[in-house]
């Protein structure tokens, strides 16, 4: 189902590029991007090198989201998919098992399994009773384009006032043409009312970028924004007759807020689960895949929650990590850890440090509320949905 609304996100990470290569998909005009720069709140810059891995590409890819989505859409149609340009307004049940969707205009489609790929505020997830919004890690991001020559992607940790870190980060990425994609992502836990701050502060952030010499003063075009649901927390990604993929499942990386690669990979995994195990056992098969795929989310959902609560600690830590000398030791591991690439990185001192950090953080958070949620709600056994609601808001 494709209402064809504007989607956000123009940087496809190394795992996404690898998957596209495996599927033989080439995106016209895509621009490869390797190293990345993090700008600490004191404007110290750290270069995070792109490091090779066994099952991800050695680069990311910048592509306009409209171009990217249209390319995947056309390929799906060429491969036999049938497009229906309607909104899903409800789920249909046979006893307690979902067996179809109700569409705007009154028509219905029945099927063995419904795959909910309807984004962070997924109504399929809500109606199937698979999301507990009060437990989710919510964020909101805004982005736009401007004319600027940018050589490397920059992640900018910004303090609107000294030592008052913006709870999230801003970015300047080169686009596939000769421009820049600029944006601001805000994390705020379960208080979704806090989202307005991203919009209120985007112009101040752009002025900050101009003062730093990162972009010229220029009009931002095509501003658009959207919700981020991160770290899986609060969403059980499968129920009876339903599989949730991508943002609907909360698969956005809780540290850097990206989710395109996970959306593609989980879509493939859901299809494979249906083909391999059949509709009845697809949920269990899919949850077994996710159990492994979301280890990073499991360890870092509590880290994310801690960062939102303690912005001063993030300010101090990023200043320490960016001290010249320390930055050269930690930069490789920082890039691997932050981008969830450590497990599959080729052997190096960077990987060893990133894996040691993974073990230390996993041990430190094992008694957290988030760890308890994963232990009780997220298991490869047949999932139990939260109280199912049968009407969409
Ligand atoms: C400003 C911003 C910048 C971002 N930048 C990046 C980035 O650079 N790199 C990155 O990896 N990630 C980025 N992300 C995250 C990324 O956009 C998402 O992780 C990704 O789009 C998830 O894909 P998805 O298919 O799961 O969901 P979406 O892309 O949200 O697609 C969901 C689709 O479902 C449709 N839909 C919704 N409700 C219904 C309904 N009831 N019936 C039928 N269809 C419905 C929507 O119209 C939409 O087409 C960004 C997010 C934002 C908000």
Q: What is the mean pLDDT of residues 171-190?
A: 90
Host domain of residue 365: 302-370
Interhelix angle 14-23/260-293, nearest 10 degrees: 100
Indicate the pLDDT class of residue 393, thresholds 50, 70 and 90. Answer: very low
State what percent of residues in the chain have pLDDT above 70.
94
380 pLDDT tier (thresholds 50, 70, 90)? low
> What pLDDT, in 10s, does the model give residues 224-265?
999 999 999 999 999 999 999 999 999 999 999 999 999 999
For residue 307, give every residue at least 6 positions away whose Cβ sits within 8 Å of its Cβ, in sequence order, or none: 167, 187, 313, 314
Residue 22: partners with Cβ closer than 8 Å, 6 or more residues away: none
Position 377 scores a pLDDT of 87
pLDDT at 201 over 80: yes
Of 188, 211, 230, the position where a domain reaches its end is 230
Q: pLDDT confidence of 386, banded at 50, 70, 90?
A: low
Place of tokens 């940790």: 157
In this predicted structure, what is the pLDDT of residue 391? 37
Count of domains observed in the chain: 2
Give strand pairing partners of 182: 144, 172
Q: Residue 135: is it exposed, middle or buried by C-beta count within 10 angstroms (0-12/13-18/19+)?
A: middle
Q: Which of 70, 155, 259, 265 to mutate to test the pocket of ligand 1 (most atoms within 8 A of CB)?
A: 259
Query: Taking CB atoms and a 6 Å cutoff, what residues make up the pocket around ligand 1?
Result: 1-3, 5, 7-11, 13, 87-88, 117-119, 123, 141-143, 183, 225-226, 228, 246-248, 252, 258-261, 263
The pair of structure tokens assigned to 288 is 């077994």
Tell me, what CATH number does 194's domain have?
A: 3.30.9.10
- Which residue out of 118, 141, 173, 257 has the highest number of ligand 1 atoms within 8 Å of its CB and is therefore the one to mutate? 118
Q: How far is the CA of 259 from the centre of ligand 1 (A)?
A: 8
pLDDT of 167 over the 70 cut: yes
Which atom, in ligand 1's list, is nearest to the CA of 183? 1
Closest ligand 1 atom to residue 245 Cα is 26
Pocket test for ligand 1, best of 67, 72, 119, 250 (most atoms within 8 A of CB): 119
Final residue before a domain boundary, out of 184, 213, 230: 230
Do the domain assignments include residue 121? Answer: no
- Identify whether 218 is part of a domain: yes
Q: Is residue 114 part of a domain?
A: no
**pLDDT exceeds cutoff 80 at 7:** no
> Is residue 113 packed enough to be buried (19+ CB in 10 Å), middle (13-18) or exposed (0-12)?
buried
- In this predicted structure, what is the pLDDT of residue 3? 42
**Does 109 map to a domain?**
no
Tell me, in angstroms, the distance from the centre of ligand 1 to residue 349's CA.
Answer: 35
- From 183, 206, 230, the end of a domain falls on 230
pLDDT digits (tens, 9 = 90+) for 282-321: 999 999 999 999 999 999 999 998 998 898 999 999 999 9
Residue 318 in any domain: the answer is: yes
Q: Which of 224, 11, 233 has its CA nearest to residue 138?
A: 233
pTM: 0.94
The answer as to whether 193 is a domain residue is yes
305: nearest Cα among 317, 315, 294, 314: 314
């Amino acid at each position: 189902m494709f209402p064809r609304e504007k989607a956000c996100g123009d940087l496809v990470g190394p795992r996404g590029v690898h998957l596209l290569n495996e599927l033989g998909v080439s995106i016209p005009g895509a621009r490869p991007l390797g190293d990345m720069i993090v700008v600490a709140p004191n404007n110290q810059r750290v270069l995070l090198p792109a490091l090779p891995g066994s099952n991800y590409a050695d680069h990311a890819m910048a592509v306009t989201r409209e171009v990217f989505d249209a390319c995947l859409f056309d390929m799906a149609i060429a491969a036999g998919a049938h497009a229906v340009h309607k909104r899903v307004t409800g789920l249909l049940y046979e006893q307690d098992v979902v067996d179809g969707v109700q569409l705007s205009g009154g028509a219905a489609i029945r099927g063995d399994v419904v795959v909910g790929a309807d984004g962070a505020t997924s109504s399929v997830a809500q109606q199937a009773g698979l999301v507990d919004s009060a437990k989710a890690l919510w964020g909101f991001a805004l982005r736009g384009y401007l004319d600027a020559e940018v050589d490397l992607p920059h992640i900018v940790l910004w303090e609107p006032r000294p030592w008052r870190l913006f709870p999230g980060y801003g970015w300047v990425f080169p686009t596939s043409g000769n421009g820049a994609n600029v944006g601001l992502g805000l994390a705020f836990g379960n208080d979704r009312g806090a989202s307005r701050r991203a919009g209120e502060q985007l112009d101040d952030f752009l002025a900050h970028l101009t003062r730093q010499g990162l972009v010229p003063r220029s009009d931002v075009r095509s501003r658009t924004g959207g919700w981020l649901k991160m770290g899986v927390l609060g969403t059980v990604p499968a129920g009876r007759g339903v599989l949730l993929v991508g943002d609907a499942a909360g698969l956005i990386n809780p540290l850097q807020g990206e989710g395109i690669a996970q959306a593609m990979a989980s879509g493939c995994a859901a299809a494979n689960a249906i083909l391999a195990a059949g509709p009845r056992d697809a949920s269990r098969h899919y949850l077994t895949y996710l159990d492994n795929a979301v280890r990073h989310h499991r360890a870092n959902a509590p880290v994310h929650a801690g960062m939102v609560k303690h912005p001063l600690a993030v300010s101090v830590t990023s200043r320490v990590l960016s001290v010249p000398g320390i930055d050269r030791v930690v930069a490789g591991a920082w890039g691997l850890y932050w981008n969830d690439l450590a497990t599959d990185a080729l052997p190096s001192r960077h990987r060893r440090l990133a894996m040691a950090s993974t073990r230390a953080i996993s041990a430190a958070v094992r008694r957290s509320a988030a760890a308890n949620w994963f232990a009780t709600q997220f298991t490869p056994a047949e999932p139990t949905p939260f109280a199912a609601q049968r009407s969409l808001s």
